[in-house]
C-alpha cells in the first residue's frame, strides 16, 4: 500500500533539563529534530464511506460477527504469507469467540483516522492514519508514533521514573523494538530515542507503529467492504 507524507510537521526539541527523583540532579537531553505526525481523518470527504464506517463501528461496539462478515470482501487480505479469503479471516480472528481480538483491533483502527489511497485499481480508505500518512522518508520498520498530546517518555522502564521528555504526536525511533515489562504494573515499556545517543521509555499502549495492525476498505459496486486487515 502506498503511504503519503502529508500532515507532517517538524518540531524542534531544544536542550532542556529535568530533575531526577533521586538526588535532584539535572539530566540533559541533547537537542534533536523530531518529526510529528498529527492525526488525520479524510473519512468525512466521502458520505458513503462515512456511513459505512459508522455502521462498522456499531457492529464492533456490540460485537456482532454475523453482521461483520457481511462487510468483509470475500478476497480479504489477511497478511503477508497468509492465505486470503473469508475462511482464513474467520479462523485467524476466531470471530465467533467471545474473546476474539478482532473487536479491539477494529475499534482502535476505526477511531484513529486514515486516508484515501488512489491507484490504478481504484480507491481505498486505509486506517489508522499512522499507516496511511506515515512519512515515506522514515523507515517504517523501527519507528512508532506517540498517539496523543503530552506523552511522557521515562528515563527508566518504570511508571515512577523521571520524565526526560514530553512529546505530542512525535515520530520516535525504537531500539530494535526492545520492550521491558515492568513487574509491578505489568506495563510494557518500549525503548525509544530521545536525544543524541540518549534513550528513554514510552508506554507501548501510547505508541503505534505503521506496521501494527491496519485495515483498508474498498468500494466495489457502490458497496464499501473490508479489503484487508493485516500487519507487516
Locate all alpha helices (DSSP H) within the chain, ordered by sequence: 47-62, 65-69, 86-93, 102-110, 129-132
Whole-angstrom distance, CA of residue 216 vs CA of residue 228: 5
pLDDT at 120: 81
Span 85-140, pLDDT tens digits: 999 999 999 999 999 999 999 999 999 999 999 888 789 999 999 999 999 999 99
Whole-angstrom distance, CA of residue 214 vs CA of residue 128: 6
Res. 45: pLDDT tops 60: yes
Evaluate whether 39 touches 45 at the Cβ level (below 8 Å). no
> 70 pLDDT band (50/70/90 cuts)?
very high
Q: Which of 150, 145, 153 is nearest to 27 (CA)?
A: 153
Lowest mean pLDDT among 65-69, 117-121, 141-145, 221-225: 117-121
DSSP class of 170: B
Task: Give the number of other Cβ atoms within 10 Å of residue 13's Cβ.
Answer: 17
* Residues paired with residue 216 on neighbouring β-strands, in sequence order: 126, 228
Amino acid at each position: 500500500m502506498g503511504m503519503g507524507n502529508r500532515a507532517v510537521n517538524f518540531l524542534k526539541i531544544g536542550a532542556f533539563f529535568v530533575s531526577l527523583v533521586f538526588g535532584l540532579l539535572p539530566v540533559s537531553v541533547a537537542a534533536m529534530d523530531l518529526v510529528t505526525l498529527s492525526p488525520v481523518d479524510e473519512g468525512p470527504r466521502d458520505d458513503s464511506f462515512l456511513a459505512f464506517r459508522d455502521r462498522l463501528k456499531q457492529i464492533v461496539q456490540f460485537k456482532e460477527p454475523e453482521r461483520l462478515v457481511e462487510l468483509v470482501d470475500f478476497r480479504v487480505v489477511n497478511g503477508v504469507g497468509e492465505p486470503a479469503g473469508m475462511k482464513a479471516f474467520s479462523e485467524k480472528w476466531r470471530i465467533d469467540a467471545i474473546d476474539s481480538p478482532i473487536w479491539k483491533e477494529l475499534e482502535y483502527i476505526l477511531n484513529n483516522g486514515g486516508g484515501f489511497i488512489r491507484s490504478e485499481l481504484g480507491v481505498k480508505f486505509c486506517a489508522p492514519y499512522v499507516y496511511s500518512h506515515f512519512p515515506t522518508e522514515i523507515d517504517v520498520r523501527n519507528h512508532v508514533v506517540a498517539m496523543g498530546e503530552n506523552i511522557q517518555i521515562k528515563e527508566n522502564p518504570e511508571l515512577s521514573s523521571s520524565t526526560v521528555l514530553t512529546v505530542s504526536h512525535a515520530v520516535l525511533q525504537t531500539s530494535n523494538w526492545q520492550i521491558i515489562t515492568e513487574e509491578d504494573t505489568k506495563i510494557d515499556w518500549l525503548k525509544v530515542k530521545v536525544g543524541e545517543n540518549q534513550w528513554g521509555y514510552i508506554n507501548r499502549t501510547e505508541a503505534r507503529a505503521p506496521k501494527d495492525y491496519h485495515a483498508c476498505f474498498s468500494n466495489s459496486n457502490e458497496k464499501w467492504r473490508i479489503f484487508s486487515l493485516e500487519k507487516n
